[in-house]
Amino acid sequence: MSTPMVITAAMVGAETTREQTPYLPITAEEIAEDAAKCREAGAAMVHLHVRTADGKPSQDAELFRAAIRAIRKRTDVLIQTSTGGAVGMDVDERCGALTLTGADRPDMATLTTGTVNFGEEVFWNPRPLVRDIAKRIRAMGLRPELECFDVGMIDEARYLAKEGLVELPGHFDFVLGVPGALQARPEVLDFMIAALPEGCTWTVAGVGRQQLPFVDEAAKRGGNARVGLEDNIYLSKGVLAKGNHELVAEAAKRVRAQGREPATPEQARQLLRLG
């Protein structure tokens, strides 16, 4: 039997707007309703950003708390909160979700291990800032998803492990296709996988039109995939996805076509060593 495949739904993000798609969830209730549908469609985890009532990207702890509570009221999907936020946010703002404790604590948090061009802007992650976020994640007893927008960020994770700030083997997310960064091509994915430390697991998040094709690429290679409105708003050319769940349903179809099954949250917890 092949390993179940973890589908993560990156539901909100910081860049997608309601002008681009009316199906972007913004309020806690909208996020929770779509998250429950994502779980039914095959997602084991959601990657979470939050927004203010007027749709602006935010990392506010209370907005995260409301979204996490609403999601957990409806579904058992795992919740991975963003520490990336939006470009230009400072470290305390980015780490809003890392102040949540008890029943509101997320299951996982992202950790981007280096700086990268991000369209016309820069997603700023110098070593001292990455160390700071890594320490906060570790202090909460969480394991990070090591988000890598380029291959050097994998080596940087090794460096952080030497400093004792992250544990290896760990779980990586390759974000491929951000304008100005590493693009989504199959040979790039092979190179990223080959660069991983022994025993690590990985997810690939293809941005834009490469999102769904990279579910196939991940399934073929024994990896995991991320889909969702953070990275792509189209189900097919010119057809908007009517919510994250439609992208998850399409991903699950592709996973099964490759002879694998979408993982449950419990299986994902085991596979990603979340304890």
Per CB under 6 A, does 59 bind ligand KMH? Answer: no
86 binds ligand KMH (CB under 6 A): yes
Judge contact between 160 and 113, C-beta under 8 A: yes
- Of 40 and 91, nearer to ligand KMH (C-beta) is 91
Sole binder of ligand KMH in the list 8, 16, 75, 112 (CB under 6 A): 112
Of the candidates 162, 157, 83, the one whose C-alpha atom is nearest the C-alpha of residue 124 is: 83
Q: Where are the alpha helices (DSSP H) in 88-126?
A: 91-94
| Residue 118 interacts with which of Zn ion, ligand KMH, none, CB < 5 to 8 Å by class | ligand KMH
CB of 261 to Zn ion, least distance (A): 26
CB contact at 8 A, 133 and 91: yes
Figure out which of the listed residues 8, 16, 82, 203 binds Zn ion, where binding follows CB under 5 A: 82
Q: Pick between residue 63 and residue 219 the one whose CB is nearest to ligand KMH.
A: 63
Least gap, CB of 220 to ligand KMH (angstroms): 26
Provide the Cα torsion 203, 201, 264, 42; round to 10°: 20
Q: Which x/- pattern, by CB under 6 A, does the window 120-159 give for ligand KMH?
A: ---x-----------------------x------------
Tell me how far apart the alpha carbons of residues 98 and 207 are, in angstroms, rounded to a whole number: 26
Phi, psi for 78 (deg, rounded to 5)? -70, 150
Pairing verdict, β 78-81 and 224-227: unpaired
The answer to whether 14 contacts ligand KMH (rule: CB under 6 A) is yes
**Closest CB to ligand KMH among 164 and 179?**
179
Q: Which stretch binds ligand KMH (CB under 6 A): 28-36, 78-86, 209-217, 258-266?
A: 78-86
Q: What angle do CA 80, 83, 89 make, to 5 degrees?
A: 150
User: Nearest-CB residue to ligand KMH?
Assistant: 84
Q: How far is CA 235 from CA 112, 239, 243, in A?
A: 27, 6, 10
Asked whether position 50 contacts ligand KMH by CB under 6 A, the answer is: no
87 lies in the site for ligand KMH, by CB under 6 A: yes
Question: 11 burial class (0-12, 13-18, 19+ CB within 10 angstroms)?
Answer: buried
Q: Which residues contact Zn ion (rule: CB under 5 A)?
A: 82
Q: Which residues contact ligand KMH (rule: CB under 6 A)?
A: 13-15, 82-84, 86-87, 110, 112, 118, 123, 147
